[in-house]
C-alpha cells in the first residue's frame, strides 16, 4: 500500500471524457474524468488479466468496457454491470488540489 499520492496530471490535461493511466509502484491505475469528476480504478479487468484502459468509456452511462470480452464496469464504484465479469475492480481515492489530480493504491 502506498501512503504517498501519485501525481496524475494537471486538471487542464485530463478533460471530461478523457482517461489516463499512472503507476503507483507496480499498480496500474486508470483515472477517468467523467463530467469534471475524477474516478480511479485498477487498470485490470477482474474477469481476465487485461487492461481496461484499452476499452471505451461511455460518458452517458459512466461505464468502461473491457475490449477483450465485453465486460463493463461502473467507474463510480468499480462494480461490474454485465457478464462475463462478476467481481468488482478495485477503486482508488482521488484528490484534486492547486497542482493537479492525484491518486494512490490504498489497498492493505
Residue 37 sits at φ, ψ, to 5 deg, of -105, 140
CATH homologous superfamily for 6-103?
Rieske [2Fe-2S] iron-sulphur domain (2.102.10.10)
Using only the alpha carbons of the chain, give its radius of gyration: 13
Q: Which three cell numbers stand for residue 62?
A: 459512466
Query: What is the reported pTM?
Result: 0.95
| DSSP conformation class of 11 | G
Q: Would you list the domain boundaries of the chain?
A: 6-103
Per-residue pLDDT of the chain (108 residues; tens, 9 = 90+): 557 999 999 999 999 999 999 999 999 999 999 999 999 999 999 999 999 999 999 999 999 999 999 999 999 999 999 999 999 999 999 999 999 999 999 997
Amino acid at each position: 500500500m502506498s501512503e504517498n499520492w501519485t501525481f496524475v496530471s494537471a486538471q487542464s490535461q485530463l478533460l471530461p471524457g478523457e482517461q489516463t493511466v499512472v503507476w503507483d509502484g507496480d499498480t496500474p491505475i486508470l483515472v477517468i474524468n467523467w463530467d469534471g469528476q475524477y474516478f480511479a480504478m485498477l487498470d485490470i479487468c477482474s474477469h481476465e488479466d487485461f487492461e481496461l484502459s484499452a476499452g471505451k468509456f461511455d460518458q452517458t452511462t459512466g461505464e468502461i468496457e473491457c475490449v477483450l470480452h465485453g465486460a463493463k464496469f461502473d467507474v463510480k464504484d468499480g462494480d461490474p454491470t454485465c457478464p462475463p465479469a462478476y467481481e468488482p475492480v478495485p477503486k482508488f481515492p482521488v484528490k484534486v488540489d492547486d497542482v493537479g489530480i492525484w491518486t494512490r493504491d490504498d489497498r492493505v
